[in-house]
């Protein structure tokens, strides 16, 4: 207990799934947590369940002014920022031939613009706090080909690159800020469940099953990712920056 004691964290897409698990884990370890999401009802309910030192702020991660407002509100309430978890993400199931430009832009606006803007506006706040940890949730789709998810795969590859660029930037600046990415495999989330349901009636079903792990005997749990978030947020990882932590039960190793 207390591995994140005294820290202030913003978690995006925190109302459900991996984000909610990460927010709970950080709070349980002593952090003050800002639950940032477009889902006001679920986000508020999570904050109420957490109790003290938790705050819900509505955030569409694709909108820069909303990032500015969330940073200001966080600093006003808690006085500093130590941890940012860029978790919010969307997925469209379509191959490169079937993906429309509108779908590509939608996925990019959340999965690329969100982490980019989060890093951009977290850096000044963390610098004033004496350092911090940025944790970007990417995917194993950034590391291997995923035919049914062309736009998603491209966006998660960008997250991987943004992470390493920010890490290198912070090292040169000597500002005490670390930046790492987590690459989950198949996880037990509502997003995964909806994709599996869609895949059952889609021409892409075979490809989808291969991507989502039909050959894997189990899915990961959101808590598996949350444990990694706590580690990267804590001082235990103070020499870890620019790394890519894969959590996929060896899916990318075989």
pLDDT at 147: 85
pLDDT in tens, 84-97: 999 999 998 888 99
Q: What pTM was estimated for this model as a whole? A: 0.92
pLDDT in tens, 217-245: 667 899 999 999 999 999 999 999 999 99
pLDDT in tens, 42-74: 999 999 999 999 999 999 999 999 999 999 999
Q: Which residues pair with 58 in a beta bridge?
A: 37
Superfamily grouping for domain 8-190+220-245: NAD(P)-binding Rossmann-like Domain (3.40.50.720)
Tell me the average pLDDT across 168-183.
98
Is residue 152 flagged as an active site residue? yes
In the chain, where are the structural domains located?
Answer: 8-190+220-245
pLDDT surpasses 50 at 214: no
Among residues 152, 219, 231, 239, which one is catalytic?
Answer: 152
């Amino acid at each position: 207990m207390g591995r994140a004691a005294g820290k202030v964290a913003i978690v995006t897409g925190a109302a459900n799934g991996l984000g909610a698990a990460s927010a709970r884990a950080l709070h349980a370890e002593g952090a003050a947590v800002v639950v940032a999401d477009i889902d006001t009802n679920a986000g508020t309910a999570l904050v109420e369940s957490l109790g003290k030192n938790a705050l819900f702020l509505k955030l569409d991660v694709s909108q820069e002014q909303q990032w500015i407002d969330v940073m200001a509100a966080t600093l006003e309430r808690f006085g500093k920022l130590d941890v940012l978890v860029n978790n919010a993400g969307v997925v469209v199931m379509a191959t490169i031939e079937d993906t429309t430009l509108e779908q590509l832009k939608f996925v990019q606006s959340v999965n690329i613009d969100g982490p980019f803007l989060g890093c951009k506006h977290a850096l000044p706040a963390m610098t004033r706090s004496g350092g911090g940890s940025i944790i970007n949730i990417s995917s194993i789709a950034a590391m291997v080909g995923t035919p049914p998810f062309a736009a998603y795969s491209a966006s998660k590859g960008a997250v991987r690159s943004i992470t390493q660029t920010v890490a290198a930037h912070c090292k040169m600046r000597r500002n005490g800020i670390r930046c790492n990415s987590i690459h989950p495999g198949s996880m037990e989330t509502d997003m995964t469940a909806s994709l599996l349901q869609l895949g059952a009636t889609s021409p892409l079903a075979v490809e989808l099953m291969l991507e989502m792990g039909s050959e894997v005997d189990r899915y990961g749990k959101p808590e598996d990712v949350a444990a990694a978030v706590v580690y990267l947020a804590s001082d235990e990882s103070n020499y870890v920056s620019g790394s890519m932590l894969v959590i996929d039960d060896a899916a990318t190793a075989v």
